[in-house]
Structure 1
Amino acid sequence: MDGPGLEFHLPSGAWTPPRGAVAGVEERVLAQDPAGAHRTVLVRWAPGTDTSAQGVTRHPDFWEEVYLLEGTMRDLTLDETFTAGMYACRPPGMPHGPWISDDGVTMLVVTRPGQSARDASPGA
């Protein structure tokens, strides 16, 4: 990532709603490159956050890594609940969600640019 060099510190940036997020979702940017293509953020969902209105999510042009720090979230498509300590690594285009978090959840999210699986396949 072409971003700031940061030594250990207590993050102090504001918690803000990400563009297009449902009510109850906030993020705190820890680091990002000037273009915003590589990002490391803390994301928290308030208890009761429900993304079902947005349906299944696919990020067509970036990788997403998610580590759950505390709380739980349930994938409504998979009907599976994920808890603190669990990790996901999603290539571009991988479907996930929608989600609900009854008790709230805080996660570390890292995104980086990448080609979709369709665009990266031989002959595409």
Structure 2
Amino acid sequence: MPKQEKEFFDPNTLSWHRPEGYPDGVWELIVTEDKKTNEFTRLLKFASGTETTNILAHECWEEVYIIEGGLICGEQVFTKGMVAVRPPGMKHGPFKTPVGALTYEVHYRRSKE
């Protein structure tokens, strides 16, 4: 089933849970998803002091907007209002979040042109 069509709604009606493979202190709220293609839109929340250990690379495109807080990857500091656009296979992480963070993410596949 493709991602669900949803008009404006209160995301507080949805449930937060820890995403598979993430450490304690990380929660996701799936806004809409296609389980068949693993395309989804979510909010991802990091508690203050959380550190991930994995280097990630996805099979799909990923776009991320930092709504609150910030993330540190190596020597790079990413803060509120910054955006990432990652093509399939782009490596990123691990991340530290000394102040915590809230991100909005869209994972999608591009159709072949």
TM-score by length of 1: 0.82
**Which 4+ residue blocks in structure 1 deviate beyond 3 angstroms?**
none
C-alpha distance in structure 2 between counterparts of 1:23 and 1:36, whole Å: 26
Give the equivalent residue in structure 2 for 1:58. Answer: 57
Shift of 1:36: 5.2
| Runs of 5+ consecutive residues of structure 1 not aligned to the other structure | 116-124
C-alpha distance in structure 1 between counterparts of 2:40 and 2:30, whole Å: 7
1:94-113 superposed matches below 5 A: 94-113=90-109
Give the equivalent residue in structure 2 for 1:17. Answer: 18
Query: How many aligned residue pairs are there?
Result: 111
SS of match in other structure, 2:56: coil
Shift of 1:34: 4.4
Cα RMSD of the aligned pairs, angstroms, is: 2.0
The superposition leaves residues 29-49 of structure 1 with CA deviations (integer Å, 9 ceiling, x where unpaired) of 101124252200000000001
1:81-92 superposed matches below 5 A: 81-92=77-88
In our comparison, the structure showing a higher alpha carbon Rg is 1
The superposition leaves residues 17-61 of structure 1 with CA deviations (integer Å, 9 ceiling, x where unpaired) of 00111111100010112425220000000000101x32x2222x1
C-alpha distance in structure 2 between counterparts of 1:34 and 1:44, whole Å: 21
SS of match in other structure, 1:20: coil
Shift of 1:113: 2.8
Shift of 1:114: 5.5
The superposition leaves residues 90-123 of structure 1 with CA deviations (integer Å, 9 ceiling, x where unpaired) of 01111111110001000001101369xxxxxxxx
Percent identity of paired positions between Structure 1 and Structure 2: 37
Shift of 1:3: 2.3
| Runs of 5+ consecutive residues of structure 2 not aligned to the other structure | none
